[in-house]
Amino acid sequence: RDRTRCEIMIDYGANWRSITVRICTIMDLLLYLNFIPTLIAGPVNRATELMPQITASRRTLVDYKRALYLIALSLVKLFLLSSWLNDTFVLPVFTLPAGQNGWDSLLAVYGWAWNIYFNFSGYTDLVTGLALLLGFRIARNFAHPYLAGSVKAFWRDWHISLSTFIRDYVYFPLGGNRKGAIWTQINVMVAMVISGLWHGAGMTFLLWGAIHGAGLVVHNLWHRWGKVRLPGLPARLLTFHFVCLAWVFFRADSISDAVTILSNIAGGSLSSLSLQQYRALFLFVGIIVLYPALVDIRLTIIDRVADLRWYTLPLVIIPLLALAFFLAPSGVPGFIYAHF
């Protein structure tokens, strides 16, 4: 009917149905493939979700208050929280794991768990805010994953766009859960190993994916035949530490380095625990215990920001960014997932 639309008749046996399809130009396709906000490290945008926004006849700012809040929050996560955790806890141990104190190794693992969370979620907040200012809504990638009480719940909330992509284009084509319980677990394991290899063609990433695959298989079997269900906090703590175990292999430069770090942790003793290490451990454990309350506070802040007048936004955002940049380590943080 016009340059951008056509009408297609589809034969459903005795019935004909008409659907309208929007035709994209080569420029639309190139913009989709090179969509700048998510080009470096996602989220993974489906054409069915992003292409209609690209081919729209007009575009305006979308929820600019939330966009500015997300951008400010992302800079706090990236420049302050992620950078500080990396410099203070992660780099000293993972760079040279041999001979490290067991408690320092444990703190490095905890630090990495939150470092990658703040880095990746911060990047996602940043590109989501930028996309909103450009008039686009992109795929959601995080839903507070450390609230998860199971490995399955973790993957429902961590890197959501990749998880659903692997599910739809690997797990389902393999047969999903349609071929019986045994093949279901095999398909789960294959999908998670492929997810690991997506991050890098190395044994550490393959083993990271296999560990999560094994965790999902155990969860599925326990959910099918087990009678005991852990309550909220113990389930969250167990899930968090399982995820941390897998993170060791994800971050380590080699499997031998990962084994060394785990050996250091296993060899730690209470007599070697210093006051500084005790305080850091108390902080990390306190954060995961209080995480649900912190999530509620964050959601409350989002609601309050939405109620602010436009001219009051700088009075909130500028002091927050100034404090973050003042306390942040020097240098520009990198995007961890840009390497994958």
154-194, pLDDT tens digit by residue? 999 998 988 998 999 999 999 988 888 899 999 999 999 99
Query: Looking at the structure, do residues 47 and 184 belong to the same domain, yes or no?
Result: no
Query: Looking at the structure, do residues 14 and 95 belong to the same domain, yes or no?
Result: no
pLDDT of residue 332: 64
pTM: predicted TM-score of the whole model, two decimal places:
0.85
Residue 256 lies in a domain: yes
Query: For residues 293 and 30, which has the higher predicted lDDT (pLDDT)?
Result: 293
Residue 313 lies in a domain: yes
Query: Looking at the structure, do residues 43 and 110 belong to the same domain, yes or no?
Result: no
Residue 198 lies in a domain: yes
Give me the domain span that covers residue 193: 64-339
Instruction: Read off the tokens for 15.
Output: 């019935």
Query: Looking at the structure, do residues 77 and 200 belong to the same domain, yes or no?
Result: yes
State the average pLDDT over residues 199-218.
Answer: 93
Query: Looking at the structure, do residues 158 and 233 belong to the same domain, yes or no?
Result: yes
Query: Looking at the structure, do residues 21 and 109 belong to the same domain, yes or no?
Result: no
Which are the catalytic amino acids? 199
Q: Which burial class, exposed, middle or buried, applies to 10 when counting CB atoms under 10 A from its CB (0-12, 13-18, 19+)?
A: exposed
State the average pLDDT over residues 116-144.
Answer: 89
Q: Report the amino acid identity of residue 54.
A: I
Residue that finishes a domain, picked among 54, 72, 95? 54
pLDDT of residue 179: 84
Assess contact for 160 and 43: CB atoms under 8 A.
yes
**Is the pLDDT reported for residue 229 higher than 90?**
no
pLDDT of residue 8: 41
The total number of structural domains that make up the chain: 2
State the average pLDDT over residues 33-40.
Answer: 68
**Is the pLDDT reported for residue 6 higher than 50?**
no
Query: Looking at the structure, do residues 149 and 220 belong to the same domain, yes or no?
Result: yes
Assess contact for 122 and 77: CB atoms under 8 A.
yes
Query: Looking at the structure, do residues 44 and 71 belong to the same domain, yes or no?
Result: no
Helix axes 232-251, 102-133, angle to 10 degrees: 90
Residue 334 lies in a domain: yes
pLDDT of residue 49: 82
Q: Which residues pair with 142 in a beta bridge?
A: 158
Query: Looking at the structure, do residues 125 and 227 belong to the same domain, yes or no?
Result: yes
Query: Looking at the structure, do residues 68 and 215 belong to the same domain, yes or no?
Result: yes
Phi-psi domain of 111 (left: phi exceeds 0; alpha: psi -120 through 50; beta: other) = alpha
**Taking Cα atoms as reference points, which of 34, 48, 69 lies closest to residue 316?**
69
**Is the pLDDT reported for residue 22 higher than 80?**
no
Instruction: Read off the tokens for 49.
Output: 């979700």
Residue 319 lies in a domain: yes
**Taking Cα atoms as reference points, which of 335, 129, 149 lies closest to residue 236?**
149
Mean pLDDT over the full length of the chain: 85
State the average pLDDT over residues 304-318.
Answer: 83
Contact residues for 66 (Cβ-Cβ < 8 A; gap 6+): 129, 132, 302, 305, 306
- Distance from C-alpha of 76 to C-alpha of 83, rounded to nearest angstrom: 10
Residue 150 lies in a domain: yes
N- to C-terminal Cα separation, the chain: 43
Query: Looking at the structure, do residues 161 and 46 belong to the same domain, yes or no?
Result: no
State the average pLDDT over residues 39-55.
Answer: 77
Instruction: Read off the tokens for 327.
Output: 């306390």
Query: Looking at the structure, do residues 12 and 34 belong to the same domain, yes or no?
Result: yes
Residue 59 lies in a domain: no
